[in-house]
A and B are shown apart, each in its own frame.
Chain A
Amino acid sequence: MNLNVLIVDDDKMITLLHKVMVVKTKICTTPPLLFSDGKMALEFLLSEYNPEERYLVLLDINMPVLNGWEFLDSIQPERFANNLFVIIVTSSVDSSDKLKAKTYPQVIGFLEKPLRSESCEFIKTMPSIAPFFA
């Protein structure tokens, strides 16, 4: 089964960097999809979501239009069930953000920017998505 990777960040250079990293570390086999705010990512999921597929969202918190928290609030409905995984990737080192992230069931990880090779390898060991890389 394919894991579709969505990179959601308003910093263009970061989305490019993260794209290079996830391709290089083989987190995704198909090119990742890049979105510059939560709304665009949400609209994509609402229209293109396929229950046969699995989705991994690398989500920034501070973004215009629809920020990371608002995005998470909008995907609360059971619709995506266990097919959607979110990893928050933020420049924030604020512990309150980390605590808040834990309140969302879809959030399987909280990483600091930038994504480096080690953080990508770590993503591949996260229990909920490790089977994709076995």
Chain B
Amino acid sequence: MTITTGEDEERLRLLESVILNTTDGVLIAENDHNQDPKIVFVNEAFIKMSGYNKEEIIGLSPIGFFAPDASSDELAKLKDAIDKCEPCNIVVKTSKKNGTKYWVNVSVAPVSDGSGGFKHWVYIQRDVNNRRRHLQALEEQNKKLKEIAWIQSHVVRAPLARIMGLVDLLSEHHDSEELSNNQIIEAIASSANELDNIIRKIVQNTENVQNQSSL
């Protein structure tokens, strides 16, 4: 039995207020013989985030809680960490009670019982849905920009290269049976038109990307 002094109690109350007031969801689970750990504590933020009430969460296995939507890789990482009594950090998709899926970052840490064993686990869950959505939007945009770069290199340069070659020829006062000067001038004009159309298309595509990113 541990005797707590007034100072200790004050300190514990402060620490407890961190768990109660944080916007991160906090679960504490207890080892249950050889079975999955069982949830023995849940904070208000977790209840708010998940939509489940306290009674529905207490007694469940945290693994079971994340299992339905998690990828098998993430789940294996979590189970492995629990088996080895090691901390781990995973990003999983999980479900609210109303069925909405959302992405969370889960940090899991074993709590030493002071005598060399581990009896408890702390799960801290942070909503990363917005961050994830932004990341996806950025990846999508990067893909579009790469496409634009490809077009610049392959499509825009084609009529431009033609114009450069034709102008070279013209400036060397070339006049052959292959290409008369009039034909060269006509070809320059049509290449310039082609270039103009391509650039207009690129501008339009870029505007589409911008509109999407401002959504």
**A contact residues vs B (CB 8 Å cutoff):** 11, 13-14, 16-21, 24, 62, 91-94, 112-117
Task: Determine chain B's interface SS by DSSP, over half rule.
Answer: helix
* B166 pairs with A17, CB closer than 8 A: yes
25 A-B pairs in the complex with CB atoms less than 8 angstroms apart: A11-B158, A11-B162, A13-B166, A14-B161, A14-B165, A17-B162, A19-B178, A20-B174, A20-B176, A62-B154, A62-B158, A91-B153, A91-B154, A91-B157, A91-B160, A93-B153, A94-B150, A94-B153, A112-B161, A113-B162, A113-B165, A114-B161, A114-B165, A116-B164, A116-B165
B187 at the interface (CB under 8 A from A): yes
Nearest-Cβ distance from residue B63 to partner chain A, whole angstroms: 44
What residues on B are CB-neighbors of A62 within 8 Å? 154, 158
* A114 pairs with B162, CB closer than 8 A: yes
What residues on B are CB-neighbors of A112 within 8 Å? 161
Interface residues on B, range: 10 to 19
What residues on A are CB-neighbors of B154 within 8 Å? 62, 91-92, 94
**B contact residues vs A (CB 8 Å cutoff):** 150, 153-154, 157-158, 160-162, 164-166, 168-169, 174, 176, 178-179, 187, 191
- Pick from B157, B164, B165: contact of A93, CB below 8 A: B157
Q: How far is the CA of A114 from the CA of B159 in the complex (A)?
A: 10
What residues on A are CB-neighbors of B153 within 8 Å? 91-94
Q: How far is the CA of A129 from the CA of B44 in the complex (A)?
A: 78
What residues on A are CB-neighbors of B158 within 8 Å? 11, 62, 91, 113
Q: How far is the CA of A92 from the CA of B179 in the complex (A)?
A: 25
Known contacts A114-B162, A114-B164: A17-B169 contact under CB 8 Å: yes
**10 pairs of A and B residues whose beta carbons are closest in the complex:** A114-B165, A113-B161, A91-B157, A17-B165, A94-B153, A91-B158, A91-B161, A114-B161, A92-B153, A13-B187
